[in-house]
Amino acid sequence: MVETRRIALAQIAPRLGALDQNLGRHHELIDAARAAGADLVVFPELGLTGYQLQDLAAEVAMRLDDPRLATLAGRTRGLSAVVSFVEESADHRLFIAAALLEDGELRHIHRKLFLPTYGLFDERRFFAAGDVLRATPSRLGVGVGLAVCEDFWHLPVAELLALDGAQILINVSSSPGRDLAATNEVGLGTATSWRTIMRTFAQLTTSFVVFVNRVGVEESISFWGGSEVIGPTGELVFGAPLFDEGLFVGDIVLDDIRRERIALPLLRDERPELLGRELARVIAERAGLAPDSTAEPGSQDGLDVAPELPPGRPIGFASPPDPLRRRRRAAGPRSVKPA
């Protein structure tokens, strides 16, 4: 028998700061996903709060023991859901979090590891960065790995999740649309970049990749949607359109993971002991705890090249004036006696 799982992509436009209203929308879509026979429904990054929170972040934050989160988890009898919100820790730090809810319980929590602070983003100003990355068992019958948006723009995340047992990698995102150009795959540079990343990670880890991105507009920033499920061969299984809100449902075949991992054993042949040893060396060298094995002889700690002579005259600038010549010009012409 072919073992399948039905996945629902909840490509929504949450209202900024309207936690209760967004919670209600999540309840509705979880019920709709169950009615559609879904085994898993995935919501986008900060789908419970909206993205451009800034100083609103503390007002909409929830602890993991918040009754509203428990009520939402109670809605997941017989299915799995991934939701995202602002989590407040016991020591009052705020995190962008994604949670796996299953059979009425909070099964796993992931705190966003990499907080972008460039371009349109200023997350590090308002949120703390997570420091734990783990895959988790799931009622789906396979390991699940959660990541949040920018996490997937850093190479180790997908690899570590797959090595830790994940066979379905789930990335929830609030990606704004940028770089409108007809030269890109779909006329949107952001979508082209994300599709390249997802296909690469799916193929290199021989895993399913589920990407759910929000839609709508906040503070003049437009979010483009384009949620997708990519198979372990790197091919598109099904996806949602750009910019349209909705619940989009499709099936995956779990046997595809086994077939691809046997035919293309890239994950089997990874060398985590090599990676760990070399990373330990790089960390020690960068911290000045060990000599830099790639630096030039004579270089200072933390530098790749040896100190050189003071910089010479910049290209394109005249030579500094000679003080003696300047005094001579100020004194005027001199008379010379004939021989």
Burial 164-181 (b: 16+ CB within 10 A, else e): eebbbbbbbbbbbbeeee
**pLDDT score, position 268:** 97
Residue 4 has pLDDT above 70, yes or no: yes
Check 88, 149, 218, 228 and give the catalytic one.
149
Three-state SS annotation for the chain? CCCEEEEEEEECCCCCCCHHHHHHHHHHHHHHHHHCCCCEEECCCCCCCCCCCHHHHHHHCECCCCHHHHHHHHCCCCCEEEEEEEEECCCCCEEEEEEEEECCEEEEEEECCCCCCCCCCCHHHCCCCCCCCCEECCCCCCEEEEEEHHHHHCCHHHHHHHHCCEEEEEEEECCECCCECCCCCCCEHHHHHHHHHHHHHHHHHCCEEEEEECEEEECCEEEEECCEEECCCCCEEEECCECCCEEEEEEEECHHHHHHHHHCCCCCCCCHHHHHHHHHHHHHHHCCCCCCCCCCCCCCCCCCCCCCCCCCCCCCCCCCCCHHHHHHHHHCCCCCCCC
**Which is more confident, 316 or 175?**
175
Q: Any catalytic annotation for residue 112?
A: yes
Average pLDDT over residues 282-296: 85
Q: What is the 3-state secondary structure (H, E, C) of 104-159?
A: CEEEEEEECCCCCCCCCCCHHHCCCCCCCCCEECCCCCCEEEEEEHHHHHCCHHHH
Q: Cβ contacts of residue 234 below 8 Å, gap of 6+?
A: 199, 200, 202, 203
pLDDT in the model for residue 101: 98
Mean pLDDT on 127-140 = 98
Q: Which residue has the higher pLDDT, 320 or 70?
A: 70
pLDDT at residue number 327: 57
Q: What's the average model confidence in pLDDT over 320-324?
A: 59
Task: Return the percentage of the chain with pLDDT > 90, whole number.
Answer: 77
pTM over 0.85: yes
Q: Please write the tens of the pLDDT for every residue from 15-63.
A: 999 999 999 999 999 999 999 999 999 999 999 999 999 999 999 999 9
CA dihedral 25, 27, 30, 36 (to 10 degrees): -80
Predicted pLDDT at 335: 52
More confident residue, 196 or 220: 196
pLDDT on residue 112? 98
In this prediction, residue 159 carries a pLDDT of 97
Q: Note the CATH architecture for domain 4-266.
A: 4-Layer Sandwich (3.60)
Mean pLDDT of 197-220: 96
pLDDT: which is higher, 285 or 106: 106
Q: Find the catalytic residue in 45, 123, 228, 260.
A: 45
Residue 120 binned pLDDT confidence (cut-offs 50, 70, 90): confident
Domain parsing of the chain, residue ranges = 4-266, 268-297
The residue to which tokens 């169950």 are assigned? 34
Task: Answer yes or no: is pLDDT of 208 > 60.
Answer: yes
pLDDT in tens, 76-98: 999 999 999 999 999 999 999 99
Closest C-alpha among 217, 240, 253, 214 to residue 83 = 214
Annotation says 278 is catalytic:
no
pLDDT digits (tens, 9 = 90+) for 215-274: 999 988 999 999 999 999 999 999 999 999 999 999 999 999 999 999 999 999 999 999
Q: Which two tokens stand for residue 195?
A: 């599709």
At 182 the pLDDT is 46
Mean residue pLDDT of the chain comes to 90
pLDDT at 23 (0 to 100): 98
Which range (155-164, 197-206, 291-300) has the least confidence? 291-300
Quick one: pLDDT at residue 190?
A: 85
What is the arithmetic mean of pLDDT over 133-143? 98
Catalytic residue among 88, 102, 112, 218: 112
